[in-house]
Amino acid sequence: MRVLLASPIGRAGGIARWTGHILDYYAKIKGTDSCDMDFLSMTLDHEQNVISKGMYHRIKRGLIGYYKVIQQENKILKDQKYDLIHIASSASISLLKDIFMIEVAHRHGVKAVVHFRFGRIPELRDQNNWEWKLLCKVVKIADGVIVLDKSSYDTLLEMGFTNVKRLPNPVAPQVVEIATRFAQESREDRSVLFVGHGLRTKGIYELIDACREIPNIKVKMLGAILDSTKDDLYCYANHAEWLEIKGEIPYENVIREMCKCDIFVLPTYTEGFPNVILEGMACSCAIVTTSVGAIPEMLEEENNKHYGIMVEPQNVEHLKTAIEKMLLDVEFKKECRVNVQQRVNKRYDIESVWRQMVNIWRETIVQ
């Protein structure tokens, strides 16, 4: 079986990080598996941070970039023989790219699997807008579709689609290795860590609102952020000493900070299958987050065991209550830390996820 993986890589963002994990793992097992995989990069701009440009610029760059990707795909499939192409998709305007890439693959007799790397499918159905119509077109013409979370899976099944599979993200072996090295780091009492892009939709303003009335708290934010947003957040927090916005730092240092924090908080509005939650689980973090995308499956209570606290997005009062509980209930916090690390190592190790993905490819090819 020969597969062409088409996905972005080499920049900030969950899709690119997933791509890196998959390529790193394949490099280690290449030659020992019955699957041969090549890679087509869909990275559109190596120089600009994904949050530093406006919507018009991003759409323009996207259309130009995706045209070049489709040209590359056509040349590769014309020159070489593949059984299947695996296309990563971030929805929005990239759905047009997905449609053309599927059609190019079919023209060359190649099966196409589209991997939706986002968790907004139920919301798109409710909105019934242009994005939903494009998504349905993609699902209809694709030979196979992969989603990240149960809600997306159930939504597409309810719409009558039968070519849909679920696949979790893997935790990278690199994360486990780094977390193991820093496992003995002392946790900083009453410290709250946020890791993610400095976007309003990540819940960063709600986090400040929730923490401003919690005594003796320390909040540290890591991740790409515009200087203007950083200044606005400091102003929003009244330049409180308990808030530290560090921006981007080396990846190993991010994992170390996860191993040191008292609790990890991600009050995001929407997610697919967030790698940062997997990383927090691998670092044995006590996690407070929102019940969006695949997060409920990642942290769901099981056999009376607790794995974290989930609240509805944009609910500051519930977020504050959850943070306070995790800070104050020491036994509950310890239980969550132990349970999440055990779960991530058992359920989301990369070898298991790889085998699931290869099985999806095989099933799609033979159908």
| 322 neighbors 214 (Cβ within 8 angstroms) | no
Cα-flanking dihedrals φ and ψ of residue 38, to 5°?
-115, 170
What pLDDT was estimated at residue 51? 47
Identify which of 275, 253, 276, 254 has the alpha carbon closest to the alpha carbon of residue 265. 276
User: Could you identify the residue written with the tokens 């290869």?
Assistant: 358
Q: Report domain extents, the chain.
A: 2-170+349-366, 173-347
- Architecture of the domain made up of 173-347: 3-Layer(aba) Sandwich (3.40)
**Looking at the chain, how many residues does it have?**
367
pTM, full prediction:
0.85
| 144 neighbors 165 (Cβ within 8 angstroms) | yes
User: Could you identify the residue written with the tokens 């033979």?
Assistant: 366
Q: How far apart are CA 51 and CA 37, in angstroms?
A: 31
What pLDDT was estimated at residue 202? 97
What is the CB neighbour count within 10 angstroms for residue 32? 6
DSSP β-bridge partners for residue 289: 266, 310
What pLDDT was estimated at residue 91? 86
CATH number of the 2-170+349-366 domain: 3.40.50.2000
Classify the C-alpha dihedral 133-40-64-47 as positive or negative: positive
What pLDDT was estimated at residue 49? 46
| 288 neighbors 326 (Cβ within 8 angstroms) | yes
DSSP β-bridge partners for residue 311: 290
SS (H, E, C) the chain: CEEEEEECCCCCCHHHHHHHHHHHHHHHHCCCCCCEEEEEECCCCCCCCCCCCCHHHHHHHHHHHHHHHHHHHHHHHHHCCCCEEEEEECCCCHHHHHHHHHHHHHHCCCEEEEEECCCCHHHHHHHCCHHHHHHHHHHHHCCEEEECCHHHHHHHHHCCCCCEEECCCCECHHHHHHHHHCCCCCCCCCEEEEECCCCHHHCHHHHHHHHCCCCCCEEEEECCCCHHHHHHHHHHCCCCCCEEEEECCCHHHHHHHHHHCCEEEECCCCCCCCHHHHHHHHCCCCEEEECCCCHHHHHCCECCECCCEEECCCCHHHHHHHHHHHHHCHHHHHHHHHHHHHHHHHHCEHHHHHHHHHHHHHHHHHC
Q: Which residues of the chain have pLDDT under 70?
A: 11-12, 45-63
User: Identical fold at 2-170+349-366 and 173-347?
Assistant: yes
Classify the C-alpha dihedral 124-266-18-148 as positive or negative: negative
